[in-house]
Amino acid sequence: MGLAFFITAWLARYLGADGYGTYVYAIAIAELTMLFWSQGLKEVVIREIKNAGDNAPDVVAAGFRLMISGNLMLFTVLLLLTYTAFSTTPELSLDNRLVIVVLCGGGIIFRAFEAFELWFHAQLKVNITVIVQFISQLLFMSAVVLLILGEASVVWFGGTYALQLMLAGTGFYIVYKFRHKWINSGRDKTSKVNTDNAIAWSLLEKGKYMILSRLLLIALLSVDRVVIEAVSGTESVGYYAAAMKMVAAWLFLGNSVGLSFIAPLTEAVGDKVKFRKLSNSMFGMLVWISVPLALVFSIWPDELVTLVFGMGYESAATAFLVLVWALPFLMLHEGVKVWLLARNRTTDYLIMLFSTLLLLTGLMLVLTGYYGLFGSALAFVLSWVTALHIILLGISKQSREVVFYIIGAYIYPFRWLYRRF
């Protein structure tokens, strides 16, 4: 991920702020249209695999069928929207954004294959899928470097985005099949299909709020770019995206911690002492991974942005100085999602994200108009701080409980030292 970050920075230098803005804007549209479906089911599938015992392969197979069917339907919608845009506005035929949107959408279809990765997460064998991710990232970065050296146009880089998802998805399937040849059970075909369908409907019922929540989350991480593009143009989107990239590059740490805690927390729900201990550990880890990073980055924002993205991105430094303080709250959000899922309070998570989206959109429209990129970054941070410390307080008793875990996480290292010394 670290190497991919610097390759992306090289790409941003090569494309320039306007070209990079076009690239990330198109990806945001494709992800907003499609990504929520399969990604919204991930945590639920992990939980159900953990609970299924020997029937875990059936859950994996049903989860894949549910993800791939939804992704194919959404890609069809994306194609229809793109065709409509082309046919009604002929001048858009030269708009690279729409071409990249379609390419990225085709790649997102393959994220359904991540259903096979989730078995390893449920069994805490993530090291196996890391190998697949590493190989796909390495091939993706190699393709990006070759295209930069070959002075390719921005459309080709949309193809590399799709290529990376295809490689990772098929890799997960191959590894799962190799490790678990018993994926195809001895039941007759009709019985297996009926079982898979029943499990798929069960997953859809249990995961419906998480699917909607993922849509809201993707909207939360995309609406800022849409508003900036409308107010200031794609060049400003490029500056903002560069600043956000330096923050978002580290979110895989929070996501990894959250995914690793799903199975233990689900198992410990009935044991209050163990559940509380695990919750404190999870939130404490998330805060004290992210706060030191934010402190270091905030000391030299101008120098870091210039070093990574080049002299053409100086305008991103101010936004980066503000956005870096969103990092602890974005990581805490991963913990909140997992904690509420383990407690079967997915409706609380949905309400929190919907309220945050409304707040962020309002703040972005006001603050971006008055203060430019600084206002956009400030709106983003304020929205997440409010979500985790105020909005959660008013949703339910369980959501109020998680706020106290968040507050306790700020002093987690001191409590840890006190218990030992």
Query: Based on the domain organization, do 167 and 189 belong to the same domain?
Result: yes
Query: Based on the domain organization, do 207 and 260 belong to the same domain?
Result: no
243-252, 349-358, 375-384, 391-400: segment of lowest average pLDDT: 243-252
Query: Based on the domain organization, do 374 and 401 belong to the same domain?
Result: yes
The number of folded domains in the chain is 2
pLDDT at 366: 92
pLDDT at 413: 67
- Per-residue pLDDT of 264-307, as tens digits, reads 888 898 888 999 999 999 999 999 889 998 998 888 888 888 88
pLDDT at 279: 92
- Provide mean pLDDT across the span 221-238: 81
Query: Based on the domain organization, do 292 and 403 belong to the same domain?
Result: yes
Q: Which residues contact 348 (CB under 8 A, 6 or more apart)?
A: 340, 392, 395, 396, 398, 399
Query: Based on the domain organization, do 242 and 313 belong to the same domain?
Result: yes
- Provide mean pLDDT across the span 184-212: 66
Query: Based on the domain organization, do 244 and 165 belong to the same domain?
Result: no
pLDDT at 418: 57
Tokens 């393959």 found at: 110
Which of 220, 253, 288 is where one domain is finished? 220
Looking at the chain, how many residues does it have? Answer: 421
Whether 23 contacts 154, CB under 8 Å: yes
Which of 220, 254, 286 is where one domain is finished? 220
Whether 25 contacts 221, CB under 8 Å: no
Look up residue 200 and give its two tokens: 């798929």
Whether 13 contacts 309, CB under 8 Å: yes
Structure confidence at residue 182 as a pLDDT band (50, 70, 90)? very low
The amino acid sitting at 138 is L
> Distances from the Cα of 183 to the Cαs of 17, 56, 177, in angstroms?
47, 9, 7
Whole-number average pLDDT of the chain: 82
**Residue 85 lies in domain:** 1-220
Positive or negative: CA dihedral 13, 102, 165, 159: negative
Which of 177, 202, 220 is where one domain is finished? 220
Q: Kindly state the DSSP code that residue 188 receives in the 8-state scheme.
A: -
Query: Based on the domain organization, do 72 and 206 belong to the same domain?
Result: yes
Query: Based on the domain organization, do 94 and 141 belong to the same domain?
Result: yes
Query: Based on the domain organization, do 19 and 148 belong to the same domain?
Result: yes
Q: Which residues contact 402 (CB under 8 A, 6 or more apart)?
A: 336, 339, 340, 392
Between 21 and 110, the more confident residue is 110
Query: Based on the domain organization, do 257 and 168 belong to the same domain?
Result: no
- Provide mean pLDDT across the span 197-214: 78
Does 414 have pLDDT greater than 80? no
Structure confidence at residue 356 as a pLDDT band (50, 70, 90)? very high
pLDDT at 351: 93
Look up residue 87 and give its two tokens: 């046919």
Rounded CA separation 381/214 (Å): 19
Does 65 have pLDDT greater than 80? yes
Compute the C-alpha angle 7/101/249, nearest 5°: 30
Query: Based on the domain organization, do 258 and 316 belong to the same domain?
Result: yes
Query: Based on the domain organization, do 38 and 67 belong to the same domain?
Result: yes
The amino acid sitting at 228 is I
- Provide mean pLDDT across the span 139-163: 87
